[in-house]
Amino acid sequence: MSPSLARRVLVHASWLVRDRLPDRPVTRVVQGVELRLPWSHRLPDYALLHPTYGQNVVALARELVGEEPLRVIDVGANVGDTALQVLAAVDARVLCVEGDPHWLAWLRGNVDGDDRVEVHAGLLALDGSAASPVRSTAGTTRFQASAQATGEAPVTPARLLAEHPDFATARLVKSDTDGYDVRLVPALAEVLTSRPVLFFEYYPELTRLAGLDPVAVWPELESLGWTHAGVWDNNGLPLGRVAVAELAVRAELLEEGRPRWPYWDVALVHADDAEGADALSTLLPVGWLG
């Protein structure tokens, strides 16, 4: 048995134990950042098995930071891991948006007292529709429509910026909302005149569970001016740098048969953003490696 396989077996076996006491608080150093987490959270395991996991957005932040602090909007902030890793890497200010009261408590425990972070306790939505969280012990939440919301009150993208005006000039938007990203990211792109780099999880299976068409996001974002794309697999390994128009075809292949990856991490750059395009060219080879 190879060391990597042995490690995977041990990690998966640990889940059987940890899921019996899922909310037991533990402190873990994950990719250089100390986090307070529930015992069942899978983030430390993913980072152990795949050291590149989640590091693409941190690398992107390093390429985008300038003389002023980098303004970042983190939608679906969870426990604050992305925010804290970006803050450890560059001079930044982060707006963390979290709609699940469960993860909001862990998030506040990790970032409260850090004046570089603002927290918005609310579900980002395009309207005021009620929604309730469906939480997994693995450390994620998927929201679904319900007659009575049990999560934090929803907020539209425009209202979010009105309540947090310092982030109207955001340079980087990161979104991880278990399928709703294809709806929320274009809505944020429409109201952010700063034309930020858009980084999000493209997960067709969860998007279809949310009742949305995943492939429709590509022509929508292209029509708004985001034309350059960088793509990583679900473990943060590079797949390539292509035009957004090409991703519609590539995305269909992602759903055929048994795909090699359940989802992609995608970074999109506006046609007028030369610095963003340079950042992608630094991080990813041109063309498609997958």
Write the pLDDT tens digit of every residue in 197-206: 999 999 999 9
Six-digit token pair at 91?
Answer: 């001079």
pTM: 0.93
In this prediction, residue 189 carries a pLDDT of 97
Mean pLDDT over the full length of the chain: 90
Nearest to 123 by CA among 213, 183, 65, 64: 183
If you average pLDDT over residues 172-176, what whole number do you get? 97
Strand locations in the chain (E): 25-30, 33-38, 70-75, 92-98, 117-121, 123-124, 131-135, 141-145, 154-155, 172-175, 197-202, 226-232, 238-243, 264-270, 287-288
In this prediction, residue 251 carries a pLDDT of 86
Q: How many angstroms separate the CA atoms of 123 and 112, rounded?
A: 19
Q: What is the per-residue pLDDT across 65-111, written as a single tens digit (0 to 9) for each?
A: 999 999 999 999 999 999 999 999 999 999 999 999 999 999 999 99
Q: Is the pLDDT of residue 151 over 70?
A: no
In this prediction, residue 75 carries a pLDDT of 97
User: Which residue ranges form the domains of the chain, and what is each CATH number?
Assistant: 52-288 (3.40.50.150)
In this prediction, residue 144 carries a pLDDT of 61
Q: What is the per-residue pLDDT across 221-246, written as a single tens digit (0 to 9) for each?
A: 999 999 999 999 999 999 999 999 99
In this prediction, residue 147 carries a pLDDT of 46
